Chains A and B, each alone.
Chain A
Amino acid sequence: MSNESNYNTSLRESATFDRATMAEIRRAANTGIYDIRGFGAKRKVPHFDDLLFLGASMSRYPLEGYRETCNTSVVLGDRFAKNPIKLDIPVTIAGMSFGALSANAKEALGRGASIAGTSTTTGDGGMTPEERGQSKKLVYQYLPSRYGMNPDDLRKADAIEVVLGQGAKPGGGGMLLGQKITDRVAQMRNLPKGIDQRSACRHPDWTGPDDLAIKIQELREITDWQVPIYIKVGATRTYYDVKLAVKAGADVIVVDGMQGGTAATQDVFIEHVGIPTLAAIPQAVQALQEMGMHRKVQLIVSGGIRNGADVAKCMALGADAVAIGTAALVALGCNDPKWEEDYQKIGSAAGFYDDYQEGKDPAGISTQDPELMKRLDPVAGGNRLANYLRVLTLEAQTLARACGKNDLRNLEPEDLVALNVEAAAMARVPLAGTNWIPGQQY
């Protein structure tokens, strides 16, 4: 009998009930509760890989790599604030909470961002001295939970980000499970140690955009109009959300797409709520342009940014800067194969670990375990992050020069084409080799 005849052609995995789906059904049947995990969406959705740059040839004139300058700096929040934020590179670190992340991880993020000349952002749980101490520019998030909210910290911030939603879970609140609530986390959040902490899904003291305008005024009054006010929204009804945020008085809008990460939430939320980052940018830009506020109210885009090409594509679509979360954690060492043995001990594998809520992260990043935390050296981690940020910037500059641009913000939708109809429709750029933008009239 040949090997070929031994092959059982009935072993065909169902596309509908694949192994991951069946495993989840079994897990649900055993436990009676939905799956909670960290990380971002794992399903494939139209993404920046579905776009290509049109480098210069005849009709455009390229710039010389490494010889001709390409500006990467950006000023954020110069609409009302006395002290806008000036970044050397248009890549910032997204808000991630102390509690979800270790103090060492927060410090490393601050160190890396500062070396690279950019800002980092607090999160649910308040501002730690480690983070403030190591972050030359720190954005303080004003979240629905108001965990650790303190006017002294507010006045120490370089900008305030009012968080209305997160790309991984628009409409949902946070979940920090009891196993990560150490004495320090409990003290900062004013809750008993060891119990699940639910971060509210909505702000407790205002209920709509008109109220938000007054809230923003309050924050400006408290900080004497010194620092910019950002508004962060999860990407869903982005066009309307951006218009309302501008009307409410935001200096900067942060749009977080569905590929954005989270410390912990329901898997069904991560995979089934929100729209891809790629689809959100043109909506946001359209809203800003219609209001005559594009480039006046700056746009930061986050959610699944991985490399300089993603950065450049966001900017070509109209963003002023991008923010990274998951990628920054990977740069610090999250899911590093050097911890493979330990990942396997907790039923995972390097590259697959997403149970941040359990507090057992072998890399010492999404944990409060003092022994695991020691595995992340904040100085070395900061240097790794700084290197990564430099690479993102260099890559984006390379692509911009190839398109003939001496400033990353001079990239434009005309520099892009799409590989498929879906991406063309969402990004509002032509299908490659055609002048057809799906949904647009000619």
Chain B
Amino acid sequence: MKTFDLATSSIRELNQALHAQQTSLTEKEWRVTNSKGDHNIAVGLDADLQVDIHGHAGYFCAGMNKTASVTVHGNAGQGLAENMMSGVVRVKGDASQAAGATAQGGLLVIEGNAGARCGISMKGVDIVVKGSVGHMSCFMGQSGSLVVCGDAGEALGDSLYEVHIYVKGEVKSLGADCIQKEMRPEHLEELSGLLAKAGVDEDPASFKRYGSARQLYTFKVDNASAY
């Protein structure tokens, strides 16, 4: 295992070293220490790496990740795993706002709580939050799944497209065009799979499902009051 100490090395040096693995994979396991909330840790990875970050991470940690598995042993700042393409990003603590923003694939697991706009404009990623999510989560979410084991804040799923949302706890309010939907067997199966992949022990039957009413997919003047 390669250890990288951010007390003595820069983010640039870390990312350059990780990017070098894209062309020639010589070191699969990486341990990053003294992260102390630095921004842009382990962004743009594109190799089968396991990166363990010991400490808190700042903005955009694991941004645009491809293939790699990144674990933050602490809390993560804004834009965690933004636009992730594939791989796994896991945060042992809490994540700030816009976690998984526009992410297109892969799995994002937040073992604590997530702030506002978790999964904003998500485009295919699966997000599992063991705690609660803040307001406007999944705003304009396009595809993928958001699983919330705790509660959801105001305006969940506002202006939603095709994301599947599963919430175990209370939902403070639903956003425009977001409705509660029937939990059919295929949804229970999907949710079971997501919980298993994330390593979360919850009963799928205790969740409710939410999705788009699809009333705002094309503009109709009769729906003007919904905007």
Given contacts A151-B64, A151-B66, A214-B59, contact A205 B79 (CB under 8 A): yes
Contacts of A221 on B, CB cut-off 8 Å? 11-12, 15, 40, 43-44
- Contact between chains at B140 and A151 (CB < 8 Å): no
Query: Does B123 touch A at the CB level, under 8 Å?
Result: yes
Q: How far is A189 from B98 in the complex, measured between Cα atoms in Å? A: 20
Q: Is B113 an interface residue (CB 8 A)?
A: no
- From B146-154, B179-187, B198-206, B213-221, give the one contacting chain A: B213-221
Q: Is B69 an interface position by the 8 A CB rule?
A: no
Task: Assess the B123–A146 pair: CB atoms within 8 A.
Answer: yes
Contact residues in A for B139 (Cβ distance below 8 Å): 204
Interface centre among A178, A205, A206, A215, by most chain B C-beta atoms within 10 angstroms, is: A205
- Let me know if B82 is at the binding interface, CB within 8 A: yes
Closest Cβ of chain A to B120, distance in Å, is: 4
Return chain A residues, CB-CB under 8 Å to B40: 214, 217-218, 221
B208 within 8 A of partner (CB): no
CA separation between A150 and B219, bound complex, in Å? 29
Residue of A nearest to B119 (CB): A204
Asked if residues B15 and A146 are in contact (CB atoms below 8 Å), the reply is: no
From residue A269, how far is it (CB to closest CB) to chain B in Å? 15
| A72 → chain B closest CB, angstroms | 35
CB distance from B139 to the nearest CB of A (A): 8
List of B residues within 8 angstroms of A149 by Cβ: 83, 102, 104
Q: Which residues of A contact B120 (CB under 8 A)?
A: 204-205
Q: How far is the CA of A214 from the CA of B11 in the complex (A)?
A: 12
Taking the nearest CB of chain B, how far is it from the CB of A185, in angstroms? 14
B107 at the interface (CB under 8 A from A): no
A178 to B80, CA, bound (A): 32
B interface SS class: loop
Q: Which residues of B contact A218 (CB under 8 A)?
A: 39-40, 43, 59-60, 63
Are A191 and B161 in contact, CB atoms less than 8 angstroms apart?
A: yes
A223 to B40, CA, bound (A): 12
Asked if A154 CB lies within 8 Å of chain B CBs, one says: yes
- Whether A10 is near chain B, meaning CB under 8 Å from some CB there, is no
Are A150's CB and B85's CB within 8 A? yes
Q: A200-B140, A222-B63 are in contact. Are A33 and B221 (CB under 8 A)?
A: yes
Grouping DSSP codes into helix (H, G, I), strand (E, B) and loop, the A interface class, with mixed when no group exceeds half, is: loop
Supposing A196-B217, A211-B78, A217-B39 touch, asked if A205 and B44 sit within 8 A by C-beta, the answer is no
Return the contact of A205 from the options B39, B98, B217, B218 (Cβ within 8 A): B98
A414: interface (CB < 8 Å): no
List residues of A (178-210) whose CB comes within 8 Å of B's CBs: 178, 189-192, 195-196, 198, 200, 204-206
Interface residues of A toward B: which range?
20 to 34
Interface residues of B in 131-145 (CB under 8 A from A): 139-140, 142-143
Q: How far is the CA of A205 from the CA of B82 in the complex (A)?
A: 8
Is B218 within 8 A of A190, CB to CB? no
Q: How far is the CB of B43 from chain A (nearest CB, A)?
A: 5
Closest Cβ of chain B to A25, distance in Å, is: 16
8 Å CB interface, B38-60 against A = 39-40, 43-44, 46, 58-60
- Chain A residues near B39 (CB, 8 Å)? 214, 217-218
Check A224 for interface membership: any CB of B closer than 8 A: yes
A146 pairs with B121, CB closer than 8 A: yes
Q: Which residues of B contact A347 (CB under 8 A)?
A: none
Task: Name the B residues within 8 Å of A222 (CB-CB).
Answer: 15, 43-44, 63-64
Q: How far is the CA of A205 from the CA of B12 in the complex (A)?
A: 22
B98 / chain A contacts, CB cutoff of 8 Å: 204-206
Q: Do the beta carbons of A190 and B44 come within 8 Å of each other?
A: no
Any B CB within 8 A of the CB of A145: yes
* Shortest Cβ distance from residue A435 to the other chain B in the assembled complex, whole angstroms: 51
B142 to chain A: which residues have CB within 8 Å? 189-191
Chain A contacts of B159 at CB under 8 A? 198
Closest to B44 in A: A222
Query: Which chain A residues lie closer than 8 Å to B162 at the CB level?
Result: 191-192
